[in-house]
Amino acid sequence: MDVEIWSDVICPWCYIGKRRFEAALDAFEHRDEVRVIARSFELDPSAPRSLEVDGITRLAEKYGVSVEQARAMEQNIVDLAAAEGLELRFDIARRGNTFDAHRLLHLAAERGLQWELKERLMRGYFTEGVAIGERAALEPLASEVGLPPEDVWAVLDSERYGEDVREDERTAAAFGISGVPFFVVDRSLGISGAQPPEVLGELLRRGWSAAQQSSGVPA
């Protein structure tokens, strides 16, 4: 059974959703027969490699709220993430264009390291203040999970996997996905948002049941 997850590495709800999905998958009886695929989704495709505007100001502008309200929104996300064992440091986060990060995730998928790189990119951005849009900052993270530096730079110095990222985004648009995270099971069942593990677990069970029925095997 395939579970495709559309998300961006700078999306805090995606990081929270990742942890909740992992909890759901760990509790799923058939977890060893589930293939998890990270799909590309850029929250801000037009963003430059690095952004000078601080996160609070950008958040306030995005939602049309005051800086104080934006700060409260941010703190709520920090608290929810902490409950999942995640440390979000918006005060040091260095936002930027994530296209290259998504291209590297496609390289990692070919090497069986996609989930590891996804985690490393998110931790780097949210907890360590890594400049997520800068290629020189991405290479050490990719190398750390086992991707050869020369292969990483071969991708970063070319346009390789760019079409794969765009294809993920076209598929998301075709599915009507406008927000992330978004979870899709076998291209037949989907759910949006950082849902609780219980809800994601039910999605897995429904997907498994549907897959068994379609194959004529008792669930």
pLDDT tens readout for residues 30-81: 999 999 999 999 999 999 998 776 778 878 888 899 989 999 999 999 999 9
pLDDT for 42 = 98
- Say whether domain 2-215 belongs to CATH 3.40.190.10: no
Mean pLDDT along residues 96-102: 97
Look at residue 206 and tell me whether its pLDDT is greater than 90: yes
Question: Is 207 in contact with 199 (CB distance < 8 Å)?
Answer: no
- The full DSSP string for 167-184 is HHHHHHHHHT--SS-EEE
Of 4 and 61, the structure prediction assigns the larger pLDDT to: 4
pLDDT of residue 68: 92
Q: Is-cis flag, bond preceding 181, omega within 30?
A: yes
Mean pLDDT estimate for the chain: 95
CB neighbour list of residue 94: distance below 8 Å, 6 or more residues apart: 50, 51, 125, 129, 130, 131, 132, 133
Closest-CA residue to 118 (of 56, 208, 180): 180
Provide the whole-model pTM.
Answer: 0.94
In this prediction, residue 137 carries a pLDDT of 98
List the single range of 1-10, 61-70, 108-117, 186-195 with lowest mean pLDDT. Answer: 61-70
- Specify the pLDDT at position 98: 98
Burial class (CB in 10 A: 0-12, 13-18, 19+), 173: exposed
Angle at 161 between CA 149 and CA 90, to 5 degrees: 70
Residue 219 pLDDT greater than 60, yes or no: no
Both tokens assigned to 43 = 């929250």
Task: Report the percentage of the chain scoring pLDDT > 70.
Answer: 97
Tens digit of each residue's pLDDT (9 = 90 or more) over 107-123:
999 999 999 999 999 99
**What pLDDT score was predicted for residue 204?**
98
- Residues in contact with 29: Cβ distance below 8 Å, sequence separation at least 6, in sequence order: none
pLDDT at 216: 67
Domain ranges of the chain: 2-215
Q: Would you say 59 and 126 are in contact if contact means Cβ atoms under 8 Å apart?
A: no
| pLDDT of the residue at 61 | 84
